[in-house]
């Protein structure tokens, strides 16, 4: 089989960093960092070109400690980078070597992993360097071990550096996000069509999990609301004739999340339901229409707020736009007043080609229930690209059941 030049396996074999090392070096220089110790699974996966150890993909705990992968990157010197992994990761190294010059498959917990990482930094002459870590993803025992082993080092948070590095997606990343989005929507359409009156929310979520897995996704979550209720937890509540259904699900494809929301109804939507979803659609279209390279992030909110001001149910509607990629709510970050707290670092910055945004509008109606659309949009060189535009209207529940019965 001939591999593409951007194939992760080929990149690893060639010993080249599978990310923009020059950009990372500039970001580290701006942050005053000499080296990185990266410990979050998603950032380790990003820096290693897609490697995520299968044994700990779901659970980190083992014995009396936990799996702690550590990617070591000295500024300006990828040829001196190293990876500290679990002892069993030697299996992976044998069949698909990582790009890093030194792979240490030697750890079984957080403390021995950090001991190896500190030893490597000392070997590089960085014992008193400015070291960036991910404070939110570094266990306290490992943090203490690092500071004890390298008492002269200055340890600071590097999460903003790594977030900015990942903000612009490569064509391969964009394709992963497109695939994730399309497969989530296809799974939703299948579940809606094959389930009818009396199905519990818990059963619907389980069916969606199976549909996503069967499409090559890792199921992450489903927020689900039915009827007039605004509660979005799986439960024994039943989806009955005339009820609306909101599905908001995240499915992971090769490390990238498709996070979308669609609506369904058991029966035909009446005029009021059509109008309510049209209000949401108008806000979605206004916000997405503002997405373009060079446009300040705040312009998305300005466009949405203008459309919201004209909505009859504006007092019940909430709008949100946030970055998407390996995690939800990553850069670009456009608001500091959303449900997930963080600073609006990108509100005044121009959007760049390759950035990806989730755009979502929610209406909490007292009688008709939880009504929402959520879409994924990539910034392109000339404008925007809406991933998975299908199924945006009222999807009818149980249509496949009726068709099967008719046969």
- Contact between 357 and 376 (Cβ < 8 Å): yes
Beta bridge partners of 63: none
Q: Tell me whether residue 63 is exposed, middle or buried, using C-beta atoms within 10 angstroms of its C-beta: 0 to 12, 13 to 18, 19 or more.
A: exposed
Question: ∠ CA 88-12-104 to the nearest 5 degrees?
Answer: 35
The CATH number given to 171-406 is 3.90.230.10
pLDDT at residue 111 tops 80: yes
Residue percentage of the chain with pLDDT more than 90: 94
- Can you tell me the mean pLDDT for 346-356? 97
State the pLDDT confidence band at 9, using cuts at 50, 70 and 90. very low
pLDDT at residue 8 tops 90: no
Count of residues for the chain? Answer: 407
- Of 407, 404, 401, 390, nearest to 188 by C-alpha is 390
Task: Spell out the domain ranges in the chain.
Answer: 8-166, 171-406
In three-state secondary structure terms, 357 is strand
Q: Which CATH class is domain 8-166?
A: alpha beta
State the pLDDT confidence band at 56, using cuts at 50, 70 and 90. very high
Backbone angles phi, psi at 245, to 5 degrees: -140, 130
Domains 8-166 and 171-406 share a fold: no
């Amino acid at each position: 089989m001939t591999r593409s030049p951007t194939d992760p396996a080929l990149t690893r074999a060639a010993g080249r960093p599978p990310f923009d090392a020059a950009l990372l070096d500039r970001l580290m220089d701006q942050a005053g960092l000499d080296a990185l110790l990266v410990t979050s699974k998603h950032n380790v996966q990003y820096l290693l070109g897609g490697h995520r150890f299968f044994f700990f993909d779901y659970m980190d705990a083992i014995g009396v400690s936990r799996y702690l992968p550590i990617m070591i990157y000295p500024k300006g010197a990828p040829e001196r980078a190293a990876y500290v992994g679990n002892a069993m990761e030697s299996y992976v190294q044998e069949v698909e070597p990582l790009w890093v010059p030194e792979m240490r498959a030697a750890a079984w917990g957080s403390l021995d992993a950090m001991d190896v990482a500190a030893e490597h930094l000392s070997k590089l002459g960085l014992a008193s360097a400015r070291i960036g870590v991910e404070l939110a993803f570094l266990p306290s025992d490992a943090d203490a071990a690092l500071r004890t082993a390298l008492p002269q080092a200055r340890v600071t948070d590097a999460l903003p550096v790594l977030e900015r590095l990942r903000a612009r997606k490569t064509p391969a990343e964009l394709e992963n996000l497109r695939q994730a989005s399309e497969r989530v929507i296809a799974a939703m359409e299948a579940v809606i069509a094959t389930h009818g009156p009396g199905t519990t929310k818990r059963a619907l979520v389980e069916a969606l999990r199976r549909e996503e897995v069967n499409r090559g996704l890792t199921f992450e979550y489903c927020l689900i609301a039915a009827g007039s209720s605004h509660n979005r937890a799986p439960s024994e509540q039943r989806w009955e004739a005339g009820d609306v259904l909101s599905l908001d699900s995240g499915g992971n494809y090769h490390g990238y999340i498709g996070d979308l929301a669609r609506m369904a109804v058991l029966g035909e939507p009446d005029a009021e339901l059509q109008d309510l979803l049209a209000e949401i659609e108008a806000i979605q279209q206004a916000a997405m229409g503002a997405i373009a390279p060079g446009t300040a992030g705040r312009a998305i909110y300005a466009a949405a707020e203008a459309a919201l001001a004209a909505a009859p149910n504006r007092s019940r509607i909430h709008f949100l736009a946030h970055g998407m990629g390996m995690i939800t709510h990553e850069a670009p970050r456009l608001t500091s007043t959303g449900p997930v707290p963080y600073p609006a670092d990108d509100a005044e910055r121009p959007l760049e080609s390759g950035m990806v945004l989730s755009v979502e509008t929610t209406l909490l109606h007292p009688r008709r229930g939880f009504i929402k659309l959520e879409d994924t949009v990539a910034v392109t060189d000339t404008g925007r690209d809406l991933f998975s535009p299908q199924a945006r209207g009222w999807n009818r529940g149980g249509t496949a059941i009726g068709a099967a019965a008719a046969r």
